[in-house]
Amino acid sequence: MDRRALEKMLAQGSDSALLRYTLGSLCLKEREPEMAARHLAEAVKQDPNHSASWKLYGKTLAALNREDEARQAYQRGIAVAEARGDVQAAKEMRVFLKRLG
């Protein structure tokens, strides 16, 4: 995915949870966790039932040493994943949550 093209779509008003999730993922890969956190916060705001967004948001917050917020994101993500039957995502987030202590 081309981050610039996605940012251009966003600037032109094509905002969506999936677009924000993808941008957050790309920003995290490009070692821009602050920007990733902004996009992922918007992704979970727009679609609070997208467990993958919660998982990546928690990971991003943990990378920023924002442990309390990361715990909250993982806890919310686990609840969402369980409600949707997304067993693997819930399992992964439990592991990440446990690592935070």
User: How many domains are contained in the chain?
Assistant: 1
- Residue 17, SS3 per DSSP: helix
| Residues 6 or more apart in contact with residue 38 via CB below 8 angstroms | 24
CATH number for the domain harbouring residue 87: 1.25.40.10
Structural domain harbouring 79: 3-100
What is the pLDDT at residue 1? Answer: 74
**Which residue from 53, 47, 95, 91 is spatially nearest to 73, judged by alpha carbons?**
53
Please write the tens of the pLDDT for every residue from 5-33. Answer: 999 999 999 999 999 999 999 999 999 99
Report the alpha-carbon angle 89-99-75, nearest 5. 45
pLDDT in tens, 34-81: 999 999 999 999 999 999 999 999 999 999 999 999 999 999 999 999
